[in-house]
Amino acid sequence: MAPGGNVYEDATESCADYGISNLRLCGSVGSKLGLASNNGVHELLKCPVCLTVMCPPIHQCPNGHTICVVCKTKVQNVCPKCWQELGNIRCLALEKVAESIELPCKYHSYGCQDILPYQSRMRHEKNCKYQGYNCPYAGVECPVTGDIPFIVAHLKADHDVDMHDGASFNHRYVKPNPHEIENATWMLTVFNCFGHQFCLHFEAFHLGTAPVYMAFLRFMGDENDANKFSYSLEVGGNRRKMRWQGIPRSIRDSHKMVRDSLDGLIITRNVALFFSGGDGQELKLKVSGRIWKQECLT
C-alpha cells in the first residue's frame, strides 16, 4: 500500500463494514428499549457466519435461524445451524429492528463522521465523498479502488503511467499504420498541478462507422472540485489547428461514460492524417494543452 493511501474493498450491503460497537438505537425503538438493551440488539442482528450486523434483506430458515444476504450465498443457501434449506424466507420483524438503528457510514475509517439510520445511510453512502475511487486506467478492467494517494501510487507502480509536474504539456502520438484503427486506449498520462492530479487520455475508437481519435482530461477527485478547473487541448499541422476547451470530468465518471458523451477533443482519421502530413501511412499527432484554475467570482 502507498504511504498515506487507503485501499478499499466494497461489498454487497450487509453491514459488514460497520463496527458493532458503534451501533445505537434511534426513534421509537430506542425510547422503549433504551441504550442498556444494545447488547441484546447486537446479538439479534449478528450474522452467525460473518459475525457482523445484518441489514435488510435478512433471511431465515424454516426453524427461524437468520443470516445476512451476503453469507446466504456463501453457505450455498443452507442454514449453517440446522442444515435446513434457507429458501427465500425473510425475517421481516428483524428487518424492522435493523431499520431502527443508527450506524456510522461504511467509510468512517477513512474520515466520514456521519452516523445515520438505515435508509438515510444507504442514500448517503452512494455519494459519500470519502468513498474510494476506481482506478482510472482504461487499458484494462482494473478492479483496484482506494483514495487518491493510493491510486496515484498504484498507477505509477502497477500500470507504469507517466507522471509529470506542471499545468501545460505537449505530447506526440505516433502510429505506423493508422488504417488498422481499433477500439484501444493508447496512453494515460497523469499531471500534478495546483495540488491535484489530472489524467490525460488519448485513444482510438469508432464513432458509428467512422474511425476517430479522442483526447480528454479527467480530474482525480470529486465533481465539485473538478468544476474549479478548465483545460484546453490543441492539435494541428499543415498550418491548421483544432482547439478544444472544457472542464475536466471527475474520475467518479467512468472512462467509458466520458468517452461516450464525446466530452473532449475529437479528430476524425482523415483530419488526423492531414495534420500528420506525408503520404498518410503514418499518424503523427502533436497534442498540446493547458490546465488552469477558475477565478472565484465574488
Distances (CA, A) of 73 to 40, 188, 280: 26, 38, 57
Which residue(s) pair with 200 in the sheet? 189, 217
Per-residue pLDDT at 225: 93
| Alpha carbon 178 to its chain's center | 32
Low-confidence ranges of the chain (pLDDT < 70): 1-39, 178-186, 280, 296-298
Same fold, 40-100 and 134-293: no
Cell numbers 483544432 correspond to what residue? 242
Q: Would you state the cell numbers that stand for residue 272, as one nine-digit string?
A: 488526423
Per-residue pLDDT at 2: 47
Q: At what angle do helices 92-99 and 118-126 cross, to 10 degrees?
A: 70
Alpha carbon distance 94, 98 (integer Å): 6
Write the CB contacts of 43 (distance below 8 Å, at least 6 apart in sequence): none
Alpha carbon distance 4, 17 (integer Å): 21
Give kind and range of the element (H or E) at residue 287: strand 283-293
Cβ-contact 244, 264 below 8 angstroms: yes
Closest of 218, 239, 237 to residue 229, by C-alpha: 218
> Where do the domains of the chain lie?
40-100, 102-131, 134-293
Per-residue pLDDT at 122: 78
Write the CATH number of the domain with boundaries 134-293. Answer: 2.60.210.10
Per-residue pLDDT at 115: 85
Write the CATH number of the domain with boundaries 40-100. Answer: 3.30.40.10
Per-residue pLDDT at 181: 61
Per-residue pLDDT at 112: 85
Per-residue pLDDT at 242: 94
